[in-house]
């Protein structure tokens, strides 16, 4: 009897230790976050591109919360990005020019729609989820197209005015403020996501992704957790969209397009999902590739996008992280010939 409780206590302590260990900051992470600072000094004339990377990174992070942690597949994540973009844009157009509160409202709107639609999404299997998320995003795109008086329809939403950040830093034509604003928001939200991922909530999500039946059997509220994750993911995507609308002072129908949902999936595919940094790394690689390839063949970027998707899926969908882990495993094996190789 006491042996049982002792092992229980021991495993509890071990679990606590692993939770704390997961939260510890690793040197590679600090190096990673030095990159945006380095980028600012190395490419001062490409700040627009760098801001786009930060925004795409945040968008991919929001999808990673759904896909990588909760295991919810989505073909229509652009719905929330677009909602955020139009919310922030419309606020700016009609006089609410304070950027941070605009972002917060964008997050609230996207999160609220995410919360409502999550009940539709959580029914059924993967296939139904793909269809319902796609359907919801198409409905929103059609709505934005029809509500021309509000959204500007096919011409896009123009005349967006955004005030200075914290009331001090005006948005300038060089994109300096826009860049630091986007990177700052990304950093704060990333830290929050990182905290959530190693919290009990994050671990429960991973458990549900692994086996939702067993998680339900040990008493975890499966649906409540999934609804929460979906809502958070939607709100994050809304912030990403809001950032885009605020920094470019424009929003058009393409923020809601199917293409965008497909692109963000590809970003996550490149970077690898389920460890938070995948979306950011994927966004960097994706945007650089986009920049390079559209310089070569501006019209046929979509062709390369398609080839990339096909090749990545056929090569077993591990992304750069899978590549890294495999190389690392081989390295470890050659150093310790006796041990069995193979990483997570």
Partner 1 sequence: MLTVLFDGVAYGMLLFILSCGLSVTLGMMNFVNLAHGAFAMIGGYATAQLMNEAGVPFLACLPVAFLIAAVLGLVLERTLYVRLYRKSHLDQVLFSIGLAFVAMSTMDYFFGAQQRLITLPDFLRGQFEVFGARIGVYRLFLIILCGLITIALQLFVSRTRIGSQLRAAVDDARVAGGLGINVSRIFAGTFAFGSGLAGLGGALGLDLLGVDPVFPIKYMIYFLIVVTVGGTRSMVGPFIAALIIGVADVAGKYYVPQVGAFVIYTVMVVILMIRPEGLMGRRATR
Pair of tokens at residue 42? 């190395």
Residue 136 as a binder of partner 1 (CB under 8 A): the answer is yes
CB-count exposure of residue 131 (10 Å: 0-12, 13-18, 19+) = middle
If phi > 0 it is left, if psi is from -120 to 50 it is alpha, else beta; for residue 124 that is left
Query: Closest approach of Cβ 75 to partner 1, in Å?
Result: 7
Please state the closest distance from residue 294 (CB atom) to partner 1, in A: 12
Which listed residue (23, 94, 302, 327) binds partner 1 by CB under 8 A?
302
Return the number of other C-beta atoms located less than 10 Å from residue 302's C-beta.
12
Under rule CB under 8 A, residue 16 binds partner 1 = no
Residue 262 binds partner 1 (CB under 8 A): yes
Asked if 146 interacts with partner 1 (CB under 8 A), we say yes
Q: Provide the phi-psi class of 338: left if phi over 0, else alpha when psi is between -120 and 50, else beta.
A: alpha
Q: Residue 150, interface with partner 1 (CB under 8 A)?
A: no
Would you say 9 or 323 has its CB closer to partner 1? 323
What count of other Cβ atoms lies within 10 Å of the Cβ of residue 210?
10
Nearest approach, Cβ of residue 302 and partner 1 (Å): 4
Cα 331 from Cα 344, distance rounded (Å)? 15
- Residue 183's closest CA among 29, 57, 31, 44? 57
- 2 φ/ψ sector (left φ>0, alpha ψ -120 to 50, else beta): alpha
The verdict on 307 binding partner 1 (CB under 8 A) reads: yes
195 binds partner 1 (CB under 8 A): no
Structure tokens at 21: 């260990």
Token pair belonging to 29: 């992470």
Residue 157 interacts with partner 1 (CB under 8 A): yes or no? no
Q: Kindly report the CA angle at 190 between 305 and 320, in degrees rounded to 5? A: 40
Q: What number of residues does the chain have?
A: 344
Q: In whole angstroms, how close is the CB of 194 to partner 1 at the nearest point?
A: 24
Among 48, 130, 293, 332, binds partner 1 (CB under 8 A): 130
User: Rounded to an integer, what distance in angstroms lies between the CA atom of residue 334 and that of residue 262?
Assistant: 39
Binding characters for partner 1, 30-69, by CB under 8 A (x = yes): -------------------------------------x--
Does position 309 bind partner 1 by CB under 8 A?
yes
The residue from 295, 314, 337, 344 that contacts partner 1 (CB under 8 A) is 314
**Please, which residue, 124 or 167, has the CB nearer to partner 1?**
124
124 binds partner 1 (CB under 8 A): yes
Nearer to partner 1, 289 or 308 (CB): 308
Please tell me whether residue 123 binds partner 1 under the rule CB under 8 A. yes
127 binds partner 1 (CB under 8 A): yes
Q: What is the dihedral of CA 221, 223, 225, 230, to 10 degrees?
A: 180
| Nearest alpha carbon to residue 38 among 56, 50, 55 | 50
Q: Could you give phi then psi for residue 219, rounded to 5 degrees? A: 95, 10
- Cα distance between residue 21 and residue 14, in whole Å: 10
As a whole number of angstroms, the distance between CA 301 and CA 295 comes to 9
Return the residue of 19, 48, 104, 131 that touches partner 1, per CB under 8 A.
131
The residue within the footprint of partner 1, chosen from 16, 214, 317, 330 (CB under 8 A), is 317
Span of 129-137, 178-186, 191-199, 212-220 interacting with partner 1 by CB under 8 A: 129-137
Tell me the DSSP string of 276-291. Answer: SHHHHHHHHHHHHHHH
The answer to the question of residue 320 lying near partner 1 (CB under 8 A) is no
Residues 266-285 that bind partner 1 (CB under 8 A): 266, 269
Binding site for partner 1 (CB under 8 A): 67, 73, 75, 120, 123-128, 130-132, 134-136, 138-139, 142-143, 145-146, 258-259, 262, 265-266, 269, 299-300, 302-303, 305-310, 312-314, 317
């Amino acid at each position: 009897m006491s042996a049982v409780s002792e092992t229980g206590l021991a495993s509890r302590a071990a679990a606590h230790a692993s939770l704390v260990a997961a939260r510890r900051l690793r040197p590679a992470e600090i190096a990673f976050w030095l990159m945006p600072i380095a980028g600012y000094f190395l490419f001062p004339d490409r700040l627009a591109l760098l801001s786009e990377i930060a925004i795409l990174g945040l968008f991919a992070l929001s999808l990673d919360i759904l896909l990588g942690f909760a295991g919810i597949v989505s073909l229509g994540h652009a719905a929330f990005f677009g909602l955020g973009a139009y919310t922030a844009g419309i606020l700016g157009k009609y006089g609410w020019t304070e950027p941070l509160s605009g972002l917060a409202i964008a997050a609230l709107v996207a999160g609220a729609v995410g919360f409502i639609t999550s009940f539709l999404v959580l029914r059924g299997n993967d296939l139904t989820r793909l269809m319902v998320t796609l359907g919801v995003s198409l409905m929103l795109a059609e709505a934005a197209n029809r509500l021309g008086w509000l959204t500007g329809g096919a011409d896009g939403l123009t005349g967006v005015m955004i005030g200075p950040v914290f009331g001090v830093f005006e948005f300038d034509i060089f994109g300096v403020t826009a860049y630091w604003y986007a990177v700052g928001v990304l950093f704060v939200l990333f830290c929050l996501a990182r905290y959530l991922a190693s919290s009990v909530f994050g671990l429960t999500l991973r458990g549900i992704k692994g086996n939702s039946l067993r998680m339900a059997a040990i008493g975890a509220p499966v649906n409540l957790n999934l609804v929460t994750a979906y809502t958070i993911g939607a709100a994050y995507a809304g912030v990403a969209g809001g950032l885009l609308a605020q920094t470019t002072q424009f929003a058009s129908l393409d923020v809601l397009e199917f293409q965008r949902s497909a692109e963000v999936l590809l970003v996550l595919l490149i970077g690898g999902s389920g460890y938070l940094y995948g979306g950011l790394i994927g966004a960097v690689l994706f945007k650089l590739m986009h920049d390079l390839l559209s310089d070569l063949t501006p019209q046929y970027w979509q062709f390369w996008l398609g080839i990339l998707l096909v090749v990545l899926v056929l090569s077993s969908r591990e992304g750069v992280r899978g590549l890294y882990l495999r190389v690392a495993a081989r390295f470890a094996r050659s150093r310790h010939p006796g041990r069995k190789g193979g990483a997570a």
